[in-house]
Structure 1
Amino acid sequence: MLKDLGTPARGLVRSAGMPRETRRRRTVLVLVILASFTLMVLDARRSAGSPVEPLRHAAAAVFGPLESSATSAREPVDNLRDRFAEVDRLKAENEKLQAENEKLTNELRTTDYARNRAAELDRLLKLAPNYTVTPARVIGIGSAQSFNHTVTIDAGTADGVRPDMTVLNGDGLVGRVVRTTEATATVLLIGDRNSTVGGRLNATMALGFVSGRGETTGALDYKLVDLKARPKAGDRIVTWGSRGNAPYVPGVPIGTVTSVTLTQGALGSTAVVKPFVDPSRIDTVGVVTGSPARAPRSALSPEKGG
């Protein structure tokens, strides 16, 4: 007889054999699905009269403040993260700008130095137009403990430099070579106590001797051969040369007379001379020499300079 009941009957029989709790859960699930489906159908109209609209407003009223609170609580965290990112970006840009600024500063310094050296070489050629001059650069200063005013230049015997050669720059007389190696030379400055240079007054052609004081200021003493001669402030002094042009060639500017002191009880006077060359600012110099012994260091001559 059960076979004649059909499929619904068999379902009811199977449901009758299930526990009550299981049947209740299934019933609730079916009702929820049906209710959801009904709400979806009703809300599909999207009109102001939709029965779902009050529920939507109610949900917005309940969950809206919660969502705003969550957003407000998250904003400081997002802002803090953005600030850290901005600080990192600004720090990277600052480091990049500092590196570029340092590079440009170094290039500017290098350019200025090269320009200054070129100007000194040009003045050197104009100062000694009748001599072949081998250029060099000061690479060392004599020890203060030795009480000698000397500098070391980067030209030596391989460049044709020998002792007792005149050294000058674009301002005037620097000194003379006293020692040499293959690649370097030691130059005794005219301000040293052991330095004496024959000097001639430009105004009167009177001869005298210029001696160093060994002072860092570079001041020199000048005594005339003619005891009756009277130099005056502003007179310019140049070298009158040595036999065989060693150690000094003629015509190189030495300095300017700044003051004159008369010798009491005797004829003659002593003048204080300010040298044209500042001993604390010597860089590019020229050694008056013949043709260099090797080709790498080119010698400056009037023909090449022109």
Structure 2
Amino acid sequence: MPQFLNKKLLLLLVSIIVLVALIGFSLREREELSWPERFLKDTTGFVGNIFSKPVSGVTGFFEDLSDLQNTYEENKKLKARLDEYVLLKTQVQDLKNENKELRDILGKEDDLRKYTPVQATVIGRNPERWHEMLSINKGTLNGIQKDMAVITSEGLIGKVKSATQFTSTVQLISSSDETNRISAIVQGDENAFGVIEGFDSEKNQLLMKRIPYDKKIKKNSLVITSGYGGIFPKGLPIGKVVDVKIDQYGLNQTAYIEPATDFYDINNVMVVQREVGAEEPTEDDGKDEAE
């Protein structure tokens, strides 16, 4: 038994000596490695390569996930700022439009020297009669009276239908009321007289009727008030001609007029009163002229 232990002890000692020698041998600086060392290094590198790619992929995935979360938060903040910008831009544009509209109205005062202008603001409009009536914030206390012409900076929109002390109701020229007629002129080499009566709601165009069949009407010709009805001043813009059709009997023409003013969007107006009497019709005025 002691002899067997001595052999085992001797073998352990020899193994330790060999291991120490190998370690010392491997630590020496030399240009070439032994094949066991090369095999060990290649095996270790190959195994490390296999595991390094998945580890790098997982690490990159979590880094990308973190970047994506940061990008989402930044995008959310930028979107909120963009919404604020759009709202601000809308408000600025609205103020610009209102400012331009008021400036244009003030500029019309020089053109209306022969008339008394009263500036007013639209305060009410019935959705069911959007193209018929609107209410303004000026009344008889401001000198407003029935049948006064009402305009915007672009042109004629209607007349005062009724007035109270503080407010007035305006009947638009697009109203379907049969009595709502305006004596008008199509400007050209030779003026053509007619009457604005009727409105095509589908085309959003006024109808100018009773134009003599022999009058040559050109498209884009301007249409203005004639002033012969005694209510509307002469020369107020109404719109421009976009189409002309002969009536079924071939005696008169009907011109389709694109209004100078957008009847759908009216905010500020001016009420004007004539300070001169109605002009006498000329031979070219035609018969049965309306207001």
Query: How far apart, in 2, do the equivalents of 1:256 and 1:283 lie?
Result: 19
Query: How far apart, in 2, do the equivalents of 1:188 and 1:73 lie?
Result: 79
- Residue 121 of structure 2, aligned match among 128, 132, 136: 136
**Residues 1:173 and 2:173 aligned together:** no
TM superposition shift of 1:250: 2.9
- Residue 187 of structure 1, aligned match among 170, 195, 208: 170
Query: How far apart, in 2, do the equivalents of 1:181 and 1:82 lie?
Result: 74
TM superposition shift of 1:253: 1.5
Q: Quick one: structure 1 residues 181 and 150, their matched pair in 2 at CA, closer, same or farther if it must change by over 3 Å? A: farther
Gaps of 5+ in 2: 1-27, 29-40, 42-47, 274-291
Per the normalisation by structure 1, the TM-score is: 0.54
Q: Quick one: structure 1 residues 79 and 176, their matched pair in 2 at CA, closer, same or farther if it must change by over 3 Å? A: same
TM superposition shift of 1:92: 1.3
The amino acid across from 2:217 in the alignment is A
**Residues 1:221 and 2:208 aligned together:** yes
Equivalence for 2:280 = none
Q: Secondary structure at the match of 2:67?
A: helix
Q: Quick one: structure 1 residues 185 and 214, their matched pair in 2 at CA, closer, same or farther if it must change by over 3 Å? A: farther
TM superposition shift of 1:287: 2.5
Query: How far apart, in 2, do the equivalents of 1:209 and 1:231 lie?
Result: 14
Query: How far apart, in 2, do the equivalents of 1:126 and 1:120 lie?
Result: 10
- Residue 80 of structure 2, aligned match among 90, 93, 99: 99
Query: How far apart, in 2, do the equivalents of 1:212 and 1:80 lie?
Result: 71
Q: Quick one: structure 1 residues 212 and 219, their matched pair in 2 at CA, closer, same or farther if it must change by over 3 Å? A: same
CA contact (8 A) 1:239 1:253 kept: no
Q: Quick one: structure 1 residues 159 and 241, their matched pair in 2 at CA, closer, same or farther if it must change by over 3 Å? A: farther
**Residues 1:109 and 2:109 aligned together:** no
RMSD: 4.4
Equivalence for 1:82 = 63
Equivalence for 1:210 = 196
Equivalence for 2:225 = 238
Q: Secondary structure at the match of 2:216?
A: coil
For the pair shown, which has the larger CA radius of gyration, 1 or 2?
1
Greater strand content? 2
Query: How far apart, in 2, do the equivalents of 1:206 and 1:68 lie?
Result: 94
**Residues 1:259 and 2:241 aligned together:** no
The amino acid across from 2:215 in the alignment is P
TM superposition shift of 1:109: 2.4
Deviations 1:138-192 (A, max 9, x none): 763541xx6x732435524388355433222232211123255777654322122
The amino acid across from 1:233 in the alignment is I
Query: How far apart, in 2, do the equivalents of 1:206 and 1:272 lie?
Result: 11
The amino acid across from 1:221 in the alignment is M
The amino acid across from 2:160 in the alignment is V
Gaps of 5+ in 1: 1-47, 49-60, 62-66, 291-306
- Residue 276 of structure 1, aligned match among 253, 259, 263: 259
Q: Percent identity?
A: 18
Query: How far apart, in 1, do the equivalents of 2:74 and 2:214 lie?
Result: 69
TM superposition shift of 1:90: 0.9
TM superposition shift of 1:94: 0.2
Deviations 1:266-289 (A, max 9, x none): xx5233140433545433441215
CA contact (8 A) 1:260 1:272 kept: yes
Q: Secondary structure at the match of 1:98?
A: helix
Query: How far apart, in 2, do the equivalents of 1:283 and 1:159 lie?
Result: 23
Q: Quick one: structure 1 residues 137 and 94, their matched pair in 2 at CA, closer, same or farther if it must change by over 3 Å? A: farther
Equivalence for 1:3 = none
TM superposition shift of 1:107: 2.2
Query: How far apart, in 1, do the equivalents of 2:117 and 2:166 lie?
Result: 19
Per the normalisation by structure 2, the TM-score is: 0.57
CA contact (8 A) 1:167 1:285 kept: no
TM superposition shift of 1:196: 0.7
Q: Quick one: structure 1 residues 261 and 140, their matched pair in 2 at CA, closer, same or farther if it must change by over 3 Å? A: same
Deviations 1:101-137 (A, max 9, x none): 2222222222223223333333334445224241424
